[in-house]
Amino acid sequence: MKRIPILTGQTASGKTDIACRLVEEFDDLVVISADSRKIYRYMDIGTAKPHYPCRDRYRMLDLVEPDEQYNVWRYYRRAEEEIAKAVSGGKRVLVEGGTIFYIRALMEGLSDYPPVPDSLIRELESMETPELYRLLLERDPRRASQIHPSDRFRILRSLYVVLVAGKSFDEVSRERFVPPSFRYEVFVLSIPVRELYFSIEKRVYDMLEEGLLEEVRSLVERYGPDAVALRKTIDYFEFIPYLEGKITLERAIEDTIRDTKDFARRQKTFLKKIEGRRGGRQETFQQLLEFLRRT
């Protein structure tokens, strides 16, 4: 089974820069994005998509509209197809991104859970978290015991499966499991906290200079402020109140920097659980360079 390298790390740590340096080294390198926000069209500046010509070598970008629901199964299926296509064409492949549940899906495989009707999604999302947890306890006590009562995301995800399939979460997971088609070797980009925080702050100001406010304004006018991607994406939802005249630009910038640092801390917690090589920017670049030369 072919080994594929994965480059991951915290937001603003420099993953895309390394990927683009590797693109310059290898004419046949295809980069598979593992980022749950770069899948959205027209959200370029705020998601820090790579610039051209590097962007031409990326796959899994610009897949859906910002008001469209997307899930990890759709990512898993499409990413595996893109990797298989590249490998069969004799190309080198690199997976790059910081969305942990995308990376874990590629590494561990995933269950093809049944599609969830929009009506059920709306009904469950209108409920408070304690009420949702009680419903899960009633329908699937074992699954409920594995989830913290305040973990709304996992509670909802479990209820979608249990209610649609009419079976326990474990039963559905076993019956519909699809194993990965490739083996992966993980490279975790790790930089000092002070350096990371400086990078986060600088990136927010760089995005503003590139035209982030105009991008947010255009998206709000086209899709509305409640579009799923805008509501859930840092660097976007913080600036909507400013555009609506509710807060100052300084406050929006402060909120964005704070939220990004909080997100980076959460990423670090998950990244600790992933086995892989760890190093700074230059060390990680060299490790990947050597790995790709051998493949």
Closest CA to 271 of 62, 87, 98, 22: 98
Domains of the chain with CATH codes: 3-111+180-192+272-294 (3.40.50.300), 118-175 (1.10.20.140), 193-267 (1.10.287.890)
Q: Going residue by residue through the chain, which has 295 residues, state the pLDDT in tens, using 9 for 90 and above.
A: 689 999 999 999 999 999 999 999 999 999 999 999 999 999 999 999 999 999 999 999 999 999 998 989 899 999 999 999 999 999 999 999 999 999 999 999 998 888 888 899 899 999 999 999 999 999 999 999 999 999 998 999 899 999 999 999 999 999 999 999 999 999 999 999 999 999 999 999 999 999 999 999 999 999 999 999 999 899 999 999 999 999 999 999 999 999 999 999 999 998 998 989 999 999 999 999 999 999 8
pTM of the model: 0.88
Q: What is the pLDDT of residue 99?
A: 95
Query: Read out DSSP for 203-252?
Result: HHHHHHHHTHHHHHHHHHHHH-TT-HHHHT-TTTTTTHHHHTTSS-HHHH
